Amino acid sequence: MAQTDVLLTKQPAPQTVPACELPPKLYDVARNTGAYTSSGLATAGFRTAKYLVDEWFQNCYAHYHQAFADRDHSERQRHESQQLAAETEALAQRTQEDSTRKVGERLQELHCWKSELQHEVDQLVAETDLLLAQKQRLERSLDATAVPFSIATDNLQCRERRQHPDLVRDYVEMELLKEAELIRNIQELLKRTIMQAVNQIRLNREQKEMCETDWSDKVEAYNIDETCARYHNQSTEVQFHPHSTKLEESASTPETWAKFTQENLCRAERERLASVNLRGLIDCILRDVAEDLRLQCDAVNLAYGRRCEELEDARLKLEQHLHKTLREITDQEHNVAALKQAIKDKEMPLKVAQTRLYQRSHRPNVELCRDNAQFRLVSEVEELNMSLTALREKLLEAEQSLRNLEDTRMSLEKDIAVKTNSLFIDRQKCMTHRTRYPTILQLVGYQ
């Protein structure tokens, strides 16, 4: 045993030790020198070197130490294995009991959530049916607005056939455009409300489906957990599933699991309350739509009456101006004729003066003198040219004035015809068509 203690306290010697690391030995011959050393043999040309005696002993001691260490480790391993087996058996029993209890608690939670989900689904179904009835009212009201919009657009199209200059954006057209815009806005409002109702119905159904899906998942999970709660060590259905302990990345936690169902219930309740509010809003919209349309219809009819009175007054004044313009055209024609005669009367004096100047330009030598007669002839020609220029300018102005009067006459005659056409369109076409405007009962969708 003393030797064993020594072996335990020493470090195991390596199997081979380099020559430079061996402890010093007392020999007569220097280490690794001489004819009988391994170093000497190596230097003598041998392929391999031989071990020293100390190296051999160290190798043996290393084997002894390794064998003792392996036996001691094995004994400790056996003792630890027996202790571990007993501990794991107790731990497995405790964990199984705890798991069974946890599964039972889970079953109770699932049952509570299932009941709440079922109750919310029933309420959503009842509310969705009520909203469907309101949606049908909106669709009937939207169909009723087609007649007013057709009347307004037909009036606008008829008034587009007015001729210039009566093709104006007057207050009748403004009221018609306002009416058409009002009807379009009402139709858009009704369409948006219908789409909102459809969307709300879809959301109700989606929340109902989500609650049903959650309810179905909980029923399936309840059945699975109920089956798991019945498993025990003597069950024949159990088997190994090595990868079952690996958690999926998408697996939920107890907090997220409970939060998911709570959010489903909250969203379902929120959509149900939104559906109730939407039904109340639909009632208000239908009531306001009928009132706004009738008020705008009365405003358009009043504008038509005012516009027809203005057209009658304008046509009467245009006829008076046309009569005066015809008289002025006659007077201007006489003025143009007089100006033409005056221009013709100035042509002969101009010919005489220019002929005199031409003949005097042929005077010989010093006789070609710029005398008083020459200066007077030149000034006479200039005066005649200035007179002709003034007369021609005045003639052009008179002719332009005459053309303007003719254009005015044509414009007045055309404008009178335009006014007559506008009166026919407004009175005979538009106002007659507006007598078929729907009643309030039709606009609110009761008829």
**What confidence tens digit (pLDDT) does each residue in 44-79 have?**
444 456 778 888 888 888 888 888 888 888 888 888
C-beta separation of 304 from 156 below 8 A: no
> d(Cα 297, Cα 145) in Å, to the nearest integer?
13
> d(Cα 110, Cα 108) in Å, to the nearest integer?
5
C-alpha 200: how far from its chain's center? 20
pLDDT of residue 8: 41
pLDDT of residue 48: 55
> d(Cα 68, Cα 143) in Å, to the nearest integer?
103
In the predicted model, residues of the chain with pLDDT beneath 70 are 1-49, 234, 238, 240-241, 244-248, 366-368, 447
φ, ψ for residue 18, nearest 5 deg: -60, 150
pLDDT of residue 19: 47
> d(Cα 197, Cα 282) in Å, to the nearest integer?
9
pTM: 0.57
Three-class secondary structure of residue 232 per DSSP:
coil
Q: What is the H or E stretch that residue 166 is in?
A: none
pLDDT of residue 227: 80
CA-wise closest residue to 282 among 438, 132, 440, 129? 132
